[in-house]
Structure 1
Amino acid sequence: MAKSVSTVRTDHASRYLQQLCKHWSHRFEVEFNEAAGKVPFSPESSLGLAANATSLIMTLTVEKPEDLERMQAVVADHLKRFAFREELDIAWTADAANP
Structure 2
Amino acid sequence: MKAETTFETPRAGRFLGQMCKHFGHKAPVTFDERSGRIELPFGHAELTASDKGLRMVATAETRTQLDRVIEVMTSHLERFAFRENPDLGWTIIQPAI
**Superposition CA RMSD, Å:** 1.3
Unaligned runs of 5+ in 1: none
Deviation at 1:69, TM superposition (A): 2.1
Instruction: Report the 3-state secondary structure (helix = DSSP H, G, I; strand = E; otherwise coil) of the residue aligned with 1:85.
Output: helix
One-letter code of the match for 2:87? D
CA distance in 1, matches of 2:58, 2:2: 6
Identity %: 38
Residues 46 and 89 (structure 1 numbering): CA distance in 2 closer, same or farther, change over 3 Å?
same
Q: Runs ≥4 in structure 1, deviation > 6 angstroms?
A: none
Instruction: Report the 3-state secondary structure (helix = DSSP H, G, I; strand = E; otherwise coil) of the residue aligned with 1:23.
Output: helix
Deviation at 1:84, TM superposition (A): 1.4
CA distance in 1, matches of 2:44, 2:63: 13
Identify, as 1 or 2, the structure richer in helix: 2
Instruction: Report the 3-state secondary structure (helix = DSSP H, G, I; strand = E; otherwise coil) of the residue aligned with 1:14.
Output: helix
Q: TM-score by structure 1 length?
A: 0.89
Deviation at 1:33, TM superposition (A): 0.6
Q: Which residue of 2 aligns with 1:11?
A: 10
Query: Quick one: which of 70, 73, 85 aligns to 2:71?
Result: 73
One-letter code of the match for 1:68? L
The answer to whether the aligner puts 1:58 opposite 2:56 as a matched pair is: yes
- How is 1:15-94 mapped onto 2 (pairs within 5 angstroms)? 15-42=14-41, 45-94=43-92
Q: TM-score by structure 2 length?
A: 0.90
Deviation at 1:67, TM superposition (A): 2.2
Unaligned runs of 5+ in 2: none
**Matched length:** 95
